[in-house]
Amino acid sequence: MSSGIVFDIKEFAVHDGPGIRIAVDLKGCPLRCAWCHNSEGQSAAPQVMHSPAGWRVAGSSYSAEGLAALLNRQGAILRANEGGVTFTGGEPLQQAGFVAEVIDRLDGLHVLLDTSGHGRYAKIDYRRICNGGPITLELSDTVFRNPESIHQAALLVRAFAQLGGQQFQLNSLSLETLLDARAHPERHKNLIVRVWGWSGYFCELTPEYQDHIIARHMYQL
């Protein structure tokens, strides 16, 4: 049986999926996103966090059996309110084995996985995950400019399906198109981009959002 490090367990969560849920925040994330709202989830180890309100320890160890038992005790309430459990963080796939063991011990609870895809994606049995663990991947249009790179992208999609993935959204944009849209928005009124958890018309975004999306496409293959 594995153990994991959790920095928060939010009961009566209403913004982490349908119904009333319990959100389990797991430690560890390889990303350092500028908009991160859970910075205590970046380090994989428990740590002391300081703030004007004082200090606290972020991170406690749970066994898979112990955490599942805690969640199952709320099962009747969660099911009655069309909710369930959401594993988030941090990046839950950094502790994929632990998360998989906890899910296996849940008594039929609805499960969501809030992930960036950085981790052992194939470790989870996605038959237990709502929508099958969808992944959104953003690629430069340079990936699709010759037969060999197109073949490599096709192999990526096939590998995703072979590993048990069920929803894979590939987005592609040209850096030149983004720069032209910023300079001449009248030419690109229908240009839709993925921001992070949502999509929007590029020319209707604030300059800060536009700069962020352009910066993501500065590195091409």
Same domain assignment for residues 118 and 217:
no
Same domain assignment for residues 62 and 143:
no
Same domain assignment for residues 55 and 154:
no
Bridge-based pairing state of the strands 135-140 and 168-173: parallel
**Max mean pLDDT range (52-56, 101-105, 170-174, 216-220):** 101-105
Same domain assignment for residues 31 and 3:
yes
DSSP for residue 85:
E
DSSP for residue 142:
G
Reported confidence tier of residue 32, pLDDT bands at 50, 70, 90: confident
Percentage above 90 pLDDT, the chain: 44
Same domain assignment for residues 28 and 123:
yes
Q: Give yes or no for residue 221 having a pLDDT over 50.
A: no
- What is the span of the domain harbouring residue 187? 134-221
Q: Tell me the average pLDDT of the chain.
A: 86
d(CA 133, CA 48) in angstroms, rounded, equals: 32
Residues of the chain by 3-state class (helix, strand, coil), percent to 5: 40, 25, 35
Domain CATH for 22? 3.20.20.70
- Lowest mean pLDDT segment, chosen from 15-19, 42-46, 125-129, 209-213: 125-129
Reported confidence tier of residue 6, pLDDT bands at 50, 70, 90: very high
Instruction: Give the end of a domain, one of 116, 131, 146.
Output: 131
Same domain assignment for residues 181 and 91:
no
Contacts of 67 (CB under 8 A, 6+ apart): 4, 6, 24, 102
Write out the H or E segment, with its range, that includes residue 108: none
Kindly give the residue spans of alpha helices, DSSP state H, lying in the chain. 64-72, 75-80, 96-104, 147-162, 175-183, 207-216
**Max mean pLDDT range (28-42, 87-101, 139-153):** 87-101
Same domain assignment for residues 181 and 212:
yes
| Total structural domains within the chain | 2
Same domain assignment for residues 126 and 145:
no
Please report how the helices 207-216 and 175-183 are oriented relative to each other, as an axis angle in degrees rounded to 10.
Answer: 160
Q: Which residue has the higher pLDDT, 128 or 84?
A: 84
d(CA 221, CA 219) in angstroms, rounded, equals: 7
Instruction: Note the pLDDT of residue 80.
Output: 93
Instruction: Give the end of a domain, one of 76, 110, 131.
Output: 131
Same domain assignment for residues 29 and 99:
yes
Same domain assignment for residues 28 and 107:
yes
Same domain assignment for residues 117 and 170:
no
Same domain assignment for residues 51 and 160:
no
Which residue type does 83 have? G
Instruction: Give the end of a domain, one of 109, 131, 153.
Output: 131
Instruction: Note the pLDDT of residue 72.
Output: 96
